[in-house]
A and B are shown apart, each in its own frame.
Chain A
Amino acid sequence: MKDEYLLEVKDLHVSIGAKEVLQGLNLQIKKGEVHAIFGPNGSGKTTLLNAIMGFAGYTVKGRIIFEGKDITHIPINERAQMGIGISFQRPPAIRGVRLRKLIEASAKRNGKTLDAYAQGLNLTDFLEREVNVGFSGGEIKRAELLQLLLQDPDLVFLDEPESGVDLENIALIGEYINHLLGRQRIRNQEKTMKELYRERKKAGLIITHTGHILEYVNVDVGYILMQGRIACQANPRDILHTIRECGFEECFRCFREGGTGGTHKRH
């Protein structure tokens, strides 16, 4: 049933210069699913998202298939237009360009929605400011979410959406990630939960270091990325628990031992 996959990554090898960062990675995400990737610093998490987006500076081998189409070598903007969006961990500042202008240049949704979302994210004043110029860590993350909400992608990459965000704002960010993923809290009870789940179309892939965001966003599948491959696939909460208790050392041990005796299922 391959056609059901929204995103399928096959035997992905990604090098930066002479260094092979991803070494034959496989990944499948279905519509309506949200996955999370954990992994130690330098394991290639951001590289994976950047390679799927098509950013420069990476030598990519293997295949990236989105909605059944091979996108491995198409330009970034075409991937975005097909329905892939990304929240950057550390986006660049764009001098002289107001946030409103950037959103209006890129958004699918209309301006009315923009003002409502901006208000919800406490970003109304920021619409008239230069993109990311002098923004705090939390302001950057909220501005990224705002841009994505208006871009309205089918597959969302969130690269450390909670890094640099204070606790109060993590809840807000979590709430709007759920909006983005079409998983906002259900207020009307006309439909059953089952029906609502079935209607979910948006998919996501979240990179998280601390895992805090998982307290606000339900994630279906968790992975550990290690030495350029997916080392483990499991319940994200179990993974988080293991990392919090034992650190990635436990994962390394498990990975070395080929999965026997490890906490989670080997992928």
Chain B
Amino acid sequence: MAHTKDTKPQPAGDLDLSAYREKASEHPPLSDLSQLTPADQKVLLMSGVDPSGKERGGSFFQQDHSVVHCRTTFDGAEIMSSSAAREKYNGLTEYWWKAMAADKDVFTQRAAHHQEHGYYMRSLPGAQVHYPLQACLYLTEDKLAQDVHNIVIAEEGSTLNIITGCATAPGVRSGLHVGVSEFFVKKGATIAFTMIHNWAEEMAVRPRSAVIVEEGGTFISNYICLVPARDLQMYPVATLKGKGAVATFNSVLLAKPGSLMDVGSRIILQAEGCRGEVISRTVSTGGTIIARGHLVGEHRGVKAHLECKGLLLSDQGRIHAIPELEGKTSDLEMSHEAAVGKIAQEEVEYLMARGLSEQEATALIIKGFLTLEIVGLPEGLKKELEHMIDETDTKAL
């Protein structure tokens, strides 16, 4: 993408890609996710993926390099592995590496050469997928590399809700996850995409996402990472190509000592009436967070806002907020708000005066800080996300 030449983020950390195994053993298919062990099911639940499939329009489950479960319960949507979709739909040539270039960086190149599945989800024209579709990318072997390529398409006038949980099985400590995702929001369509990462401590994670939004389309991304990996770097890009297209990125990050998270979101506003919003809430208890955001206004009258707020709870931690605004025409409105600070003593004392201990008060304030009021999510999913933040282990704080 031509727009990224000055601000292209460097891959975080010095990853030795040869340290990860390419080959994984094959896993047998599962007719039902509730056949997974209780320990695995618990991990899935904490990653937003419900093994019962209850209140979900369909499920996709990839274990290491094997697609072990794939089912949709709704006629208006398709779910399958992206490899199956390429076979079925003539290579998916309209979409495959069309939102982003295969040679964008070393990780997209990896995915282009070593790809093992990933998911394909598509809502049919006009379909309103009431319950979210869920996908889980699960790593069960230590030191394994998982390179997936996902394609998500919302056809004209359709609405698609997706929850993707990426997680490691109990006992797995390290690995590499490279996830290429290309999203296509057609005219008047909506995709609400929620991604929850629940990785082992030593994981290296490189999601690579690009989104094309056509006229009147809406893309909402919620990214949640409360169980931090050692080394995470991502910078999804939404390009708003059609009139009145809208994109929102919400990110919630918690970095514990030893973790490095370099996370940003970029919105390129190319047409009349486009709007964009990038919001991040970050908490460091000793880890490093780089919270980026980049708004590029290329058409008159577009509006966009960027907000990075960080709570730094330890002298060992670091939060570096890098909000960028780039206007390429007159008559546009772009703004940003960035703040890095500590918890207000006044708030802690207020809660203590109600009888909460200092620790309870602090935990409640942090959880509140991480709770984003996300517009456009189904009520059930909102509650699930709140619950997930509630369950976050704040003892270490």
Contact = CB atoms under 8 A, between A and B. Distances in A.
Given A55-B349, A97-B364, A92 B344 contact: yes
Given A94-B368, A96-B371, A97-B367, A81 B355 contact: yes
Given A77-B358, A96-B369, A105 B364 contact: yes
Given A96-B368, A96-B371, A105-B364, A75 B347 contact: no
Interface in A120-177: 130, 147, 151
Contacts of A86: 353
Contacts of A77: 352-353, 355-358, 361
A258 interface: no
Secondary structure of the B contact surface, majority rule: helix
Interface in A70-118: 75-77, 80-81, 85-86, 88, 91-92, 94-97, 101-102, 105-106
Given A92-B350, A96-B368, A151 B345 contact: no
B253 interface: no
B354 A147 contact: yes
B219 to A, nearest CB: 24
A56 interface: yes
A80 B364 contact: no
Contacts of B360: 105
Interface string B342-381: 0011110111111111101100110111111100000000
Closest 6 CB pairs of A and B: A96-B368, A106-B354, A96-B371, A97-B368, A76-B352, A80-B355
Interface of A: 53, 55-56, 75-77, 80-81, 85-86, 88, 91-92, 94-97, 101-102, 105-106, 130, 147, 151
A56 B356 CA distance: 16
Contacts of B356: 77, 105-106
Contacts of B346: 92
B358 A102 contact: no
A105 B370 CA distance: 18
Interface of B: 344-347, 349-358, 360-361, 364-365, 367-373
Given A77-B353, A80-B354, A97-B364, 17 more contacts: A53-B353, A56-B345, A75-B358, A76-B349, A80-B355, A85-B354, A86-B353, A92-B347, A94-B368, A95-B369, A96-B368, A97-B368, A97-B371, A102-B354, A105-B351, A105-B360, A106-B355
30 contacts: A55-B353, A56-B345, A75-B357, A76-B349, A76-B352, A77-B352, A77-B353, A77-B355, A80-B355, A81-B355, A85-B353, A91-B350, A92-B346, A94-B350, A94-B351, A94-B365, A95-B369, A96-B367, A96-B373, A97-B364, A97-B367, A97-B368, A97-B371, A101-B364, A105-B354, A105-B356, A105-B360, A106-B351, A106-B354, A151-B355
Given A96-B370, A97-B367, A105-B364, A88 B352 contact: no
B360 to A, nearest CB: 7
Contacts of A75: 352, 357-358
Contacts of A105: 351, 354, 356, 360, 364
A81 to B, nearest CB: 5
A81 B355 CA distance: 5
A71 B361 CA distance: 21
Nearest to A95: B368
A59 to B, nearest CB: 16
Contacts of B365: 94, 97
A80 B350 contact: no
B294 to A, nearest CB: 25
